[in-house]
Amino acid sequence: MRLVAAWLSAMLLTATAHGQTPAPLRWGGDAEGGAPFVEADPSDPNKVTGFDVEIAELVAARLGRSPQFIQIAFQSLDQSARRGDFDIGLSGIEDIPARRQSLAASIPYYEFREVLTVREGDRDRYRTLADLRGRRVATLGGTMAYDLLLAGERSHGITAVSYDEDVHPYSDLANGRVDAVVLDHVLAERAMRRNTGLVTHPDALATGHYIAITAPENTALRDQVDTILRDAMRDGTLERIFRKSQVWNDDQPRLFERVLSTVGTNPLSTLGAPGTLGVESAVRLYLPSLFRAALITLALSCLSMALAVALGSLIAIGRVYGDSITRLLLTTYVEVMRGTPVLLQLFVIYYGLSSIIRLPAFLAALVGLGLNYAAYESEIYRSALEAVPRGQLDAARILGFTNIQTLRLIRAPQAFRIALAPMTNDFVALLKDSSLVSVITVVELTKQTQIFATNIGSWLLPGLLCAAMYLAMSLPLGYLARRLEEQWRMPGA
Amino acid sequence: MTATLTVRGLHLTRGTRAILQGVNLDACAGEIVALMGLSGSGKTTILRVIAGLDVPDAGEIAAGKTGMVFQFHYLFEHLSAIDNVTLAPIHVHGVTATEARVRAQSLLEQLGVGHRADALPRELSGGEAQRVAIARALAVDPPLLLLDEPTASLDPARRNDLGDALRALAATGRALVMTSHDDEFVREHASRVVVLANGVVVEEGDPGEVLSRPQHRATKALLQVERARHGVQ
């Protein structure tokens, strides 16, 4: 009891001490590929630099608080703001209606243009989205640009390809995996410096704005941020910050003028952005794409599993029947594949090997998952082969069967029945692991759900629909496996 | 009479344990040879060496095509009774599926399990499984048939049926070598008994003779154990 009391009073003291010095301003952003907004400082990777960093520091300074950076994945910024993981989010966050509905959003502080980047040789061929019919056009998922491309899928017959970050769309454009990239001009200009042989058409496909976000109930902080931003527009602080990052242009003074002449925090017209979506129409709009994504998940899982089963069988046979060198090589393969994250393997296959072999995303996903699961399958088959009673093999040998015949006619069929249950478990696991392939731009069910959730500003409905679709795929499988198992039950198994 | 099976000087050591220490054994066509001995005397090992499942350290074996019926049958669990019988003729001997089936069905009929042709091994009784296992071994028509403890899974009524079946097989010109604990069965159905102790043959001859007037103390011990097992004083 005394200990608890001592602890409580210590906590109270700490709390009082905090009350005297203001709490730090926790601000969230994504430093991964986040230049020039937020990026790790090249001279000190523990610090971040970029114009959003300076705006965060400005806001903190004028509030009399110290800034504290919190790393949040770009796609999760909205959810984290709502959960209260940070006080204010600043990371090139776009002003879109769903965000304004579900969060407290600041006044726009920067105007960007969505621009089309293509390879130099295609400069004249691909000038607009309409020129790109049947072509793959890349962008960052969950952005205005992605919505623009989805609209383009319907109106111009392009294929939208979504990335989780803004670096690989351009490198994949340079190496021919996609034919164009649509992103804001800030990112496009950065990318042009990194990659040679690319050109960006100057005309805007749409314009948009960056804003700061806070939790929906934290309008007090949002209002303070608005005041600070307005002051910084008037006194030239923002211009200085943008000039330092080389993103200042003629659009900005016009934006500042418009913002300063309006009262309150009403958004400016967000040209090119889709209109506000109600839940019902959002479901109608996204349901077909969820079904399509579910089909991709199913096809990818089935094909990867087929590859894993074929390869896993060969590995298992090699490990049971092979000589010591074969066994060592195969064991090494199995341990490496099981001992490293499948995410890493996907990155290596898709990006790491792209200078040697440039696999299309779906094929890379199929191969990546297949190679990884082959390691797990092989272990199941190996132990199943070894679980077939010795007497069965003795009986086969006396009858004159060769080793291969014994394997094909007696051992493998019996092992298959033993392996069936763990195999089904693996297939259900694969069905869910297939969501990892969104990192290499395959839009499967989970990714599509995430896009859906970002655009309507809520995970509840998309999450339920997504879960229902996964269950609709995995439950029948489990049922089928149980049926087959009962039918084939081995004595003593 | 030429021997279907000739075994000379068989030695086999596992680790430090000498299991066979110079075994000689013959079996002729039409003969049922019973190997007897206490557990661990090397009976089953001799069958496995003859069948080619275990490799001896020394010794010679001359035997033609050999069939074997295991104590626990080892029927292929994923195949029906008749498919167990046809598998080797089709895949090892190139017999057509139709021909193999006809022959398998007639073998199963002869052994009294024709009506169980489509049953899976797990659905068969011990006696039925044994008959299917015999049919499987006979399907490739081996001159030599090895049986490991064939009476172990049978009730007394079934034992006599089996004895009749084995004698009928021997009568068609096959040599049969079986291991057995069952001196009653051996006395009634075997043409010769070979008694093993510690990996050597200690006594052999006519079953009535050897089992009624055992000479070697290993044979006497064996019979005592058997009597105790059957509750006979």
Residue-wise pLDDT for A453-463, tens only, equals: 877 777 888 89
Give A373 or B155, the one with higher predicted confidence: A373
- Which of the residue ranges A325-339, B50-64, B181-195 has the most confident prediction, judged by mean pLDDT? A325-339
CA dihedral B222, B223, B229, B233 (to 10 degrees): -140
Give A391's contacts in chain B (Cβ within 8 Å).
70, 72, 74
The complex scores an ipTM of: 0.92
Give A481 or A330, the one with higher predicted confidence: A330
Please compute the mean of the pLDDT values over residues B27-50 and round it to a whole number.
Answer: 91
Buried b (16+ CB within 10 A) or exposed e, A57-84: bbbbebbebebebeebebbbbbbbbbee
Report the alpha-carbon distance of residue B202 to residue B218 in Å, rounded. Answer: 8
Q: Alpha helix (H) ranges present in A322-360?
A: 324-339, 342-347
pLDDT given for residue B82 in this prediction:
96
Looking at chain A, the whole-number percentage of residues with pLDDT higher than 70 is: 91
Tokens of B207: 């079953």
For residues A440 and A351, the answer to whether their CB atoms sit within 8 Å is yes
pLDDT given for residue B1 in this prediction:
56
> Residue A278: pLDDT band by 50, 70, 90 thresholds?
low
pLDDT given for residue A2 in this prediction:
54
Q: Is the pLDDT of residue A480 over 50?
A: yes
Give A478 or A230, the one with higher predicted confidence: A230
Q: Is the pLDDT of residue B232 over 70?
A: no
Residue corresponding to tokens 């090997």: A353
From the list B74, B92, B122, which residue is nearest A401 (CB)? B92
Please compute the mean of the pLDDT values over residues A220-236 and round it to a whole number.
Answer: 93
Please compute the mean of the pLDDT values over residues A364-381 and round it to a whole number.
Answer: 96
CATH of A279-487, one of 3.30.450.40, 1.10.3720.10, 3.30.2310.20, 3.40.640.10: 1.10.3720.10
- Which of the residue ranges A128-137, A324-333, B51-60, B122-131 has the most confident prediction, judged by mean pLDDT? A324-333
Report the alpha-carbon distance of residue A119 to residue B133 in Å, rounded. Answer: 73
Please compute the mean of the pLDDT values over residues A237-253 and round it to a whole number.
Answer: 91
B177 and A CB contact within 8 Å: no
User: Does this model's pTM top 0.95?
Assistant: no
Same topology between domain A112-207 and domain A279-487: no
> Residue A109: pLDDT band by 50, 70, 90 thresholds?
very high
Looking at chain A, the whole-number percentage of residues with pLDDT higher than 90 is: 53
Q: Which whole-number Å values give the CA distances from A490 to A416, A417, A477, in the listed order?
A: 11, 8, 21
pLDDT given for residue A300 in this prediction:
95
Name the residue in chain A with its Cα closest to that of B76.
Answer: A392
Please compute the mean of the pLDDT values over residues B28-48 and round it to a whole number.
Answer: 91
pLDDT given for residue A263 in this prediction:
65
What part of B 185-204 touches A (C-beta under 8 Å)?
Answer: none
Name the residue in chain B with its Cα closest to that of A415.
Answer: B78
CA-based nearest distance B93→chain A, Å:
9
> Residue A275: pLDDT band by 50, 70, 90 thresholds?
very low
> Residue A277: pLDDT band by 50, 70, 90 thresholds?
low
Report the alpha-carbon distance of residue B196 to residue B203 in Å, rounded. Answer: 7
Q: Is the pLDDT of residue B187 over 80?
A: yes
Q: Is the pLDDT of residue A274 over 50?
A: no
CA-based nearest distance B217→chain A, Å:
34
Report the alpha-carbon distance of residue B80 to residue B105 in Å, rounded. Answer: 12
Q: Which whole-number Å values give the CA distances from A23 to A16, A68, A100, A258, A312, in the listed order?
A: 12, 10, 26, 34, 56
Please compute the mean of the pLDDT values over residues A292-297 and round it to a whole number.
Answer: 92
Please compute the mean of the pLDDT values over residues A212-225 and round it to a whole number.
Answer: 92
> Residue A45: pLDDT band by 50, 70, 90 thresholds?
confident
Name the residue in chain A with its Cα closest to that of B140.
Answer: A399
H or E, element range at A144: helix A144-156
Q: Which whole-number Å values give the CA distances from A114 to A52, A94, A452, A493, in the listed order?
A: 19, 11, 21, 62
Size of interface A-B (CB pairs under 8 A): 59
> Residue A490: pLDDT band by 50, 70, 90 thresholds?
low
Residue corresponding to tokens 């070697």: B216
Q: Is the pLDDT of residue B144 over 90?
A: yes
pLDDT given for residue B77 in this prediction:
93
Listed by start position, the domains of chain A span 2-109+209-261, 112-207, 279-487
pLDDT digits (tens, 9 = 90+) for B100-140: 999 999 999 988 899 999 999 999 998 899 999 999 999 98
Report the alpha-carbon distance of residue B137 to residue A395 in Å, rounded. Answer: 9
- As assigned by CATH, the class of the A2-109+209-261 domain is alpha beta
For residues A175 and A42, the answer to whether their CB atoms sit within 8 Å is no
Domain A112-207 superfamily per CATH: Periplasmic binding protein-like II (3.40.190.10)
pLDDT given for residue A282 in this prediction:
72
Report the alpha-carbon distance of residue A197 to residue A188 in Å, rounded. Answer: 13
Mean pLDDT across chain A, nearest whole number? 86
Q: Is the pLDDT of residue A168 over 90?
A: no
Q: Is the pLDDT of residue A264 over 60?
A: no
In sequence order, which residues have a C-beta less than 8 Å from that of residue A77 and are 6 or more positions away?
A28, A29, A30, A89, A91, A93, A213
Tokens of A387: 């679980």
Lowest average pLDDT, out of A361-370, A418-427, B224-233, goes to B224-233
pLDDT digits (tens, 9 = 90+) for A114-136: 999 999 999 999 999 999 999 99
> Residue A6: pLDDT band by 50, 70, 90 thresholds?
low
Give B125's contacts in chain A (Cβ within 8 Å).
none
Q: Is the pLDDT of residue B69 over 50?
A: yes
> Residue A106: pLDDT band by 50, 70, 90 thresholds?
very high
Q: Is the pLDDT of residue A272 over 50?
A: no
Of B42, B16, B24, B27, nearest in space to B197 by CA: B42
Backbone angles phi, psi at A343, to 5 degrees: -60, -45
Q: Is the pLDDT of residue B43 over 80?
A: yes
For residue A276, the 8-state DSSP code is P
Would you call B77 and A395 a contact, using CB atoms and an 8 Å cutoff? no
pLDDT given for residue A270 in this prediction:
43
Tokens of A273: 């952005």
pLDDT given for residue A492 in this prediction:
43
Q: Is the dihedral of CA A250, A256, A258, A259 positive or negative?
A: positive
- Which of the residue ranges A36-50, A271-285, A382-396 has the most confident prediction, judged by mean pLDDT? A382-396
Lowest average pLDDT, out of A181-195, A423-437, A439-453, goes to A439-453
Q: Is the pLDDT of residue A9 over 80?
A: no
Give B22 or A355, the one with higher predicted confidence: B22
pLDDT given for residue A8 in this prediction:
55
Name the residue in chain A with its Cα closest to that of B69.
Answer: A395
Of B74, B56, B21, B44, nearest in space to B146 by CA: B44
Please compute the mean of the pLDDT values over residues A386-399 and round it to a whole number.
Answer: 94
